[in-house]
Amino acid sequence: MMISINLRPGQKRKPSGAGKQISATLKEFAARVKDPLLAAVVAIWIVVAGWLAYTWGSTGRAMAKASEQLEQISTEAKRFETLMQQKRKAERIRDSLQTQIGVIRGVDRGRYVWPHVLDEVAKTLPAYTWLTDVTVLGMVPGVEGDSTSVPKLKFQVNGRTVDYQAFTQFMRQLEASPWIENVTALRSETVVENQRPVTSFQITALFAEADSAYIRTVPLAQSVR
């Protein structure tokens, strides 16, 4: 700590250069403004002007930042709307394709039913047994309350056999087919044909689409070497 000693008590210490400038400015302002109230009002206005300038600057910066964020959000919203439009377009195309596929499957499902019925009946026919008639009785509605259930073809088989055991075997083999269900014997009786006694029978059954494990697909055309 340094102690200053004034060797001339009658003289006051002179202020520095900056202090002189501030002191001169204040004296000049005081000389011009004689009313203290007016000086207070001017000082208040200076403070208010400074506060307004600060507030305007900070508000401007906040507005600029908010505008930048708003522009970014608007860009993201436009990009999201474009993605949503593409998604809706893809969903419309998917729904249209599913509808077309459903129509095609419906047509194909009924196109080959009758040949398939005849094929299953022929494969299960035992020896010494022959058919006299195979007819379609109509379509049986699906399971009530099940929207996925489809109508099933009901058909009737009339035939002859020289062995009653062959008739029962024919029914069991039809029932074992994954494509045939509800096999029911309507009638079986002994008749004379070509001067020989034979068993005449009448059977009804339903054709049902088998599980996919039993379905085998082949190409429509194959190259021949």
Residue 13 counted as domain residue: no
Angle at alpha carbon of residue 216, lines to 134 and 209, rounded to 5°: 50
Please give the pLDDT value at position 140. Answer: 83
Within this chain, do residues 78 and 100 fall inside the same structural domain, yes or no? yes
Within this chain, do residues 50 and 140 fall inside the same structural domain, yes or no? no
pLDDT tens per residue, range 77-90: 888 888 888 888 88
Backbone angles phi, psi at 58, to 5 degrees: -65, -40
Within this chain, do residues 152 and 179 fall inside the same structural domain, yes or no? yes
Residue 107 counted as domain residue: yes
The total of structural domains in the chain comes to 2
Within this chain, do residues 88 and 144 fall inside the same structural domain, yes or no? no
For residues 152 and 116, the answer to whether their CB atoms sit within 8 Å is no
Residue 167 counted as domain residue: yes
Instruction: Round to whole Å and give the CA distance between 160 and 198.
Output: 6
Residue 83 counted as domain residue: yes
pTM of the complete model: 0.47
Domain that holds residue 181: 113-211
Highest-pLDDT range among 23-32, 35-44, 108-117, 140-149: 108-117
Residue type at 79?
R
Mean pLDDT check: name the lowest of 83-97, 127-141, 146-160: 146-160
In 95-151, the DSSP E strands lie at: 129-140
Within this chain, do residues 119 and 145 fall inside the same structural domain, yes or no? yes
Please give the pLDDT value at position 77. Answer: 85
Pick the residue with more confidence: 28 or 207?
Answer: 207
Within this chain, do residues 105 and 56 fall inside the same structural domain, yes or no? yes
Flag whether pLDDT at 197 surpasses 60.
yes
Instruction: Round to whole Å and give the CA distance between 132 and 136.
Output: 14
| CA-based R_g, the chain, Å | 52
Boundary residue ending a domain (95, 111, 127): 111
Within this chain, do residues 204 and 118 fall inside the same structural domain, yes or no? yes
Within this chain, do residues 148 and 100 fall inside the same structural domain, yes or no? no
Within this chain, do residues 167 and 178 fall inside the same structural domain, yes or no? yes
Within this chain, do residues 121 and 207 fall inside the same structural domain, yes or no? yes
Flag whether pLDDT at 3 surpasses 60.
no
Instruction: Round to whole Å and give the CA distance between 36 and 25.
Output: 16
pLDDT tens per residue, range 8-52: 555 555 545 555 665 666 566 555 555 666 667 667 777 777 777
Q: Which CATH number does the domain housing residue 159 bear?
A: 3.30.70.60
Boundary residue ending a domain (45, 76, 111): 111
Please state, rounded to an integer, the average pLDDT across all residues of the chain: 77
Within this chain, do residues 87 and 125 fall inside the same structural domain, yes or no? no
Pick the residue with more confidence: 167 or 51?
Answer: 167
Within this chain, do residues 159 and 193 fall inside the same structural domain, yes or no? yes
